């Protein structure tokens, strides 16, 4: 069966890792990369696995969510994490790389494998007659995006992130926040953070003075939909716009006080286990430091642990909960896998991780072996579970974070101790990985 050729589209972070994994299993790979014939607007070289912005893959500390993911990837034999370690520059607890050295080493590995044919060509349509991994990234070319849209159905392809922050439920102060549904209709499943006039005015001042992240040139033609405007854009329309929009207080009475407040921030459950809540209608492009200051000015969120910050940028991604298995196999075409940021995993490390998994699973699929699914006590398993099973209607890309992993069975005192909790979560995953994999 190993004489099957696999097509991998995109020699970015995910595609390069997927191709190297397939080569390790003995498969021949045609790895298609459209650069330098056509560029994305963000890439500047013709090299594989280019880092388009920061040169950091985030923490290496296993008690950090991204650090744990890297450890799991090392155990599973990730090529690019290994290359990153070889290309490391000093950056404290973070794994930062010399991007030129990194890409050159990845290119050398591709060449040395003897199994990967790096072809400079834009793929405009999903190849119909051969096993394929699509790893064309957040800036997938227009023609391929149009074909993916046709294959998946137009409602399943998104072109822009408009992400609201997510906080950890255990860090919300319920002396102030309360559960209620508007006009008491249905289950009281929303968490509400109430504000009086003074608190609202302070919040508004922080918001309107906060610095925003500038959109890149290639992002400027992407128009925001009126229904998902960033809060800072709404706030610029006038002091009361938010109180008539996402912070509308009407019908939300705090039963403890009987008061309908001046403004309310609502939080909606984000994952099945109920450990993560997103701020409804709070998509934002503020700098992260400002987001933290703003969120901590909301009564009830003074000490909120922010699991994901809001972002807005050009990003092509599929609706993975509708389309993919946690193995990254496409539900309606078994010899098609997706990998990288296009699946809704956000970040360099996460893109490599899903490339690794897609490569391993394509190889297992072609060998008629069981596909690899990790449990959600691991960061990689939790990430795959989240992107393939979360609410389809509100799906937005996510990076590794503690909110998505299975809850710890431990008493409340331990759960409140963040350091101890993350140590236990990390050890739980690494025990599992070390006893199940010896690659």
Ligand X SMILES: Cc1cc2nc3c(=O)[nH]c(=O)nc-3n(C[C@H](O)[C@H](O)[C@H](O)COP(=O)(O)OP(=O)(O)OC[C@H]3O[C@@H](n4cnc5c(N)ncnc54)[C@H](O)[C@@H]3O)c2cc1C
Q: Which residues in this chain contact ligand X in the complex, by CB under 6 A?
A: 9-15, 32-35, 40, 42-43, 52-54, 122-123, 135-141, 144, 216, 340-342, 347-348, 351
Q: Given the complex with ligand X, which of 43 and 169 has the nearer CB atom? A: 43
End-to-end CA distance of the chain: 22
Cβ within 8 Å of residue 277, ≥6 positions away:
166, 167, 169, 172, 191, 267, 268, 269, 270
Task: Spell out a b/e string for 143-171, using b for 16 or more CB atoms within 10 Å of the CB, else e.
Answer: ebbebbbebbeeebbbebbbbbbbbbbeb
CA distances 408 to 171, 304, 401, 423, Å, are 15, 19, 14, 11
Peptide bond before residue 18 is cis, with ω within 30 degrees of 0? no
Q: DSSP letter at 224?
A: P
Integer Cα distance of 180 and 187 in angstroms: 8
Q: Given the complex with ligand X, which of 9 and 162 has the nearer CB atom? A: 9
Nearest approach, Cβ of residue 219 and ligand X (Å): 8
Nearest approach, Cβ of residue 101 and ligand X (Å): 17
Nearest approach, Cβ of residue 417 and ligand X (Å): 29
Q: Given the complex with ligand X, which of 76 and 252 has the nearer CB atom? A: 76
Q: Given the complex with ligand X, which of 40 and 401 has the nearer CB atom? A: 40
Q: Given the complex with ligand X, which of 216 and 394 has the nearer CB atom? A: 216
Cα 224 off chain centre by:
20
Integer Cα distance of 225 and 360 in angstroms: 38
Q: Given the complex with ligand X, which of 14 and 234 has the nearer CB atom? A: 14
Nearest approach, Cβ of residue 145 and ligand X (Å): 8
Nearest approach, Cβ of residue 402 and ligand X (Å): 18
Integer Cα distance of 343 and 133 in angstroms: 11
Nearest approach, Cβ of residue 55 and ligand X (Å): 8
Nearest approach, Cβ of residue 263 and ligand X (Å): 34
Position of minimal CB gap to ligand X: 12
Joined tokens for residue 44: 């500047």
Q: Given the complex with ligand X, which of 168 and 219 has the nearer CB atom? A: 219
Nearest approach, Cβ of residue 282 and ligand X (Å): 21
Q: Given the complex with ligand X, which of 139 and 263 has the nearer CB atom? A: 139
Q: Given the complex with ligand X, which of 230 and 299 has the nearer CB atom? A: 230
CB 299 within 8 A of CB 194: yes
Nearest approach, Cβ of residue 342 and ligand X (Å): 6
Integer Cα distance of 392 and 319 in angstroms: 7
Expressed in percent and rounded to 5, the helix, strand and coil fractions of the chain are: 40, 20, 45
Q: Given the complex with ligand X, which of 42 and 228 has the nearer CB atom? A: 42
Nearest approach, Cβ of residue 315 and ligand X (Å): 7
CB 152 within 8 A of CB 25: no
Joined tokens for residue 190: 């929303």
Which residue blocks in 193-277 are alpha helix, DSSP H?
197-209, 231-235
Cβ within 8 Å of residue 234, ≥6 positions away:
241, 242, 245, 246
């Amino acid at each position: 069966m190993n004489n099957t050729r696999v097509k991998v589209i995109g020699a970015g972070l995910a595609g390069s890792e997927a191709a190297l994994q397939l080569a390790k299993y003995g498969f021949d790979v045609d790895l298609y990369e459209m650069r330098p014939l056509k560029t994305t607007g963000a890439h500047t070289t013709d090299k594989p696995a280019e880092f388009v912005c920061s040169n950091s893959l985030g923490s290496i500390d296993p008690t950090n969510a991204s650090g744990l993911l890297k450890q799991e990837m090392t155990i599973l034999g990730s090529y690019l994490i290994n290359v990153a370690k070889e290309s490391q520059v000093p950056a404290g607890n973070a794994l930062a790389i010399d991007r030129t050295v990194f890409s050159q080493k990845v290119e050398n590995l591709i060449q040395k494998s003897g199994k990967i044919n790096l072809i400079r060509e834009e793929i405009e349509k999903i190849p119909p007659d051969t096993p394929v991994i699509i790893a064309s990234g957040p800036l997938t070319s227009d023609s391929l995006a149009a074909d993916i849209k046709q294959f998946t159905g137009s409602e399943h392809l998104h072109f822009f992130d408009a992400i609201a922050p997510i906080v950890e439920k255990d860090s919300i102060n319920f002396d102030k926040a309360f559960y209620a549904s508007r006009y008491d209709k249905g289950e009281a499943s929303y968490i509400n953070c109430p504000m009086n006039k003074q608190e609202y005015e302070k919040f508004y001042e922080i918001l309107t003075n906060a610095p925003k992240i500038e959109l890149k040139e290639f992002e400027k033609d992407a128009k925001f939909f009126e229904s998902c405007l960033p809060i800072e854009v709404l706030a610029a329309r006038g002091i009361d716009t938010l109180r008539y929009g996402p912070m509308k207080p009407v019908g939300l009475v705090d039963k403890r006080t009987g008061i309908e407040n001046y403004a309310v921030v609502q939080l909606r459950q984000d994952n099945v286990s109920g450990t993560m809540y997103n701020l409804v209608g709070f998509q934002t492009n503020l700098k992260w430091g400002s987001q933290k200051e703003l969120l901590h000015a909301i009564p009830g969120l003074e000490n909120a642990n922010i699991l994901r910050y809001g972002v807005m940028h050009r990003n092509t991604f599929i609706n993975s909960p509708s389309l993919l298995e946690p193995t990254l196999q496409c539900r309606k075409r078994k010899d098609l896998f997706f990998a990288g940021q296009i699946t809704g995993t956000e970040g360099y490390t996460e893109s490599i991780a899903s490339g690794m998994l897609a490569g391993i699973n394509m190889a297992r699929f072609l060998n008629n072996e069981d596909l690899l699914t990790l449990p959600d006590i691991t960061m990689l398993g939790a990430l795959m579970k989240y992107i393939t099973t979360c609410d389809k209607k509100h799906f937005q890309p996510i990076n590794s974070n503690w909110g998505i992993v299975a809850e710890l069975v431990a008493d409340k005192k331990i759960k409140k101790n963040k350091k101890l909790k993350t140590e236990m979560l990390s050890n739980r995953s690494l025990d599992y990985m070390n006893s199940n994999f010896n690659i």
